[in-house]
Structure formats: structure tokens, C-alpha cells
């Protein structure tokens, strides 16, 4: 099993995210994001487990947003039906990846799962856990490989950002919002 660890620093606000990626027959991602949101301290720890095809099977998010306790269990079955804390979320049916809005780590999931020739864009639909309301929504995403280590990430509505990645497809820079401060 190959393991990578990353410490990201927020560039647009106070905060850090420590993440560990374990890549073997199944990908596992886990970490903790510590940041401020509208003057409230936030600590959100997360774990994501993928199946043998690199698709999200389970995600857990626990922690605090200010004084509000967070405890979420997100599960996707083999036919891509999603549940959040046991309740089916039909609007994200068919999605392959979870995208946790508070961390850059989950952008690594489609980047590792899919093959991206330079100059070509590949569209994916993610089950996006929107922050701070922590609800799941479908999010169409496009990743265009610009070079071996750079992608343009776009979503409907005009959001576009450059992602720098390492040789394993792990995000090292998320535009002007996050940058890897240390890697191992």
C-alpha cells in the first residue's frame, strides 16, 4: 500500500487541512480541516473509502462548525444510490465521487480514477457536500488537463480554477484558495 500525507494551508482565509491518502487495491482518504467561517472556528474530520474502481463507497464527516456538532455518514451502494445518515438522497443518484466542499482533497478522486489526455476535458458528476449547510447536491464538473501537472477545473455558473497536482494526481494547489505546505 502506498501512503501520501499532505498539509494544505488556506490562502484566502485562516485554515489548514491535513490529509492522508492510502492507495492500494482500494483508495482511502482521510483528514481534518481546521478553519474559520464567518468568525466561527470549524474542525471537520473526514474519511472517504472507494471501491476497486475508484468510486466513492463511503464518506464520514465529523466535527464542529462553531458550537454546532457535525456527524454525517454518506454511503453509495454498487448501483450508485446515495444515503446521508440513512436517508436516501435521490438527487445525487448515479454520481461516482463525493466532493467535500470544505477540502481540496476530494478533487483527487476523479483525477486518480480517470485518464486525462493533455488538452482534453472530462466531465464528471459528483455528490457535492455543500458547506456550510452540509447537504448533498449533484455537481457537474469538468477537468481539463493543461499539462502533466496542471488541470483547469470548472463547474456550471462560471466557477473555474487551476489545480496543480503531483505525479500521483494529488492536488498540491487549488487556485488561490489552498496550497500544499508540506508533503510526504
* Range from 1-5, 32-36, 85-89, 158-162 carrying the lowest mean pLDDT: 1-5
Whether residue 47 is predicted with pLDDT greater than 90 in this model: the reply is yes
What percent of the chain stands above pLDDT 70?
Answer: 99
Please compute the mean of the pLDDT values over residues 129-149 and round it to a whole number: 96
First vs last Cα of the chain: how many Å apart? 15
All three cell numbers of 122: 472530462
Confidence grade of residue 99 (pLDDT, cut at 50, 70, 90): very high
- pLDDT 10s digits, 103-116: 999 999 999 888 88
Say how far apart CA 107 and CA 174 lie, in whole Å: 9
All three cell numbers of 91: 438527487
Angle, CA of 82, 86 and 92, to the nearest 5°: 20
Say how far apart CA 162 and CA 165 lie, in whole Å: 10
| Domain ranges for the chain | 2-183
Whether residue 39 is predicted with pLDDT greater than 80 in this model: the reply is yes
pLDDT at 132: 96
Whether residue 1 is predicted with pLDDT greater than 80 in this model: the reply is no
Confidence grade of residue 184 (pLDDT, cut at 50, 70, 90): confident
Amino acid at each position: 500500500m502506498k501512503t501520501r500525507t499532505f498539509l494544505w494551508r488556506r490562502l484566502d482565509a485562516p485554515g489548514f487541512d491535513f490529509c492522508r491518502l492510502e492507495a492500494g487495491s482500494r483508495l482511502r482518504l482521510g483528514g481534518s480541516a481546521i478553519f474559520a467561517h464567518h468568525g466561527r472556528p470549524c474542525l471537520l474530520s473526514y474519511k472517504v473509502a472507494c471501491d476497486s474502481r475508484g468510486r466513492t463507497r463511503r464518506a464520514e464527516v465529523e466535527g464542529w462548525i462553531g458550537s454546532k456538532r457535525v456527524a454525517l455518514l454518506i454511503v453509495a451502494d454498487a448501483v450508485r444510490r446515495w444515503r446521508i445518515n440513512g436517508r436516501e438522497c435521490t438527487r445525487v443518484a448515479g454520481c461516482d465521487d463525493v466532493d467535500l466542499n470544505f477540502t481540496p482533497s476530494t478533487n483527487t478522486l476523479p483525477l486518480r480514477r480517470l485518464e486525462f489526455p493533455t488538452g482534453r476535458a472530462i466531465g464528471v458528476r459528483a455528490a457535492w457536500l455543500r458547506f456550510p449547510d452540509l447537504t448533498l447536491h449533484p455537481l457537474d464538473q469538468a477537468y481539463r488537463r493543461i499539462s502533466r501537472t496542471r488541470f483547469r477545473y470548472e463547474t456550471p455558473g462560471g466557477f473555474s480554477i487551476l489545480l496543480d497536482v503531483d505525479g500521483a494526481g494529488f492536488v498540491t494547489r487549488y487556485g488561490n484558495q489552498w496550497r500544499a505546505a508540506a508533503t510526504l
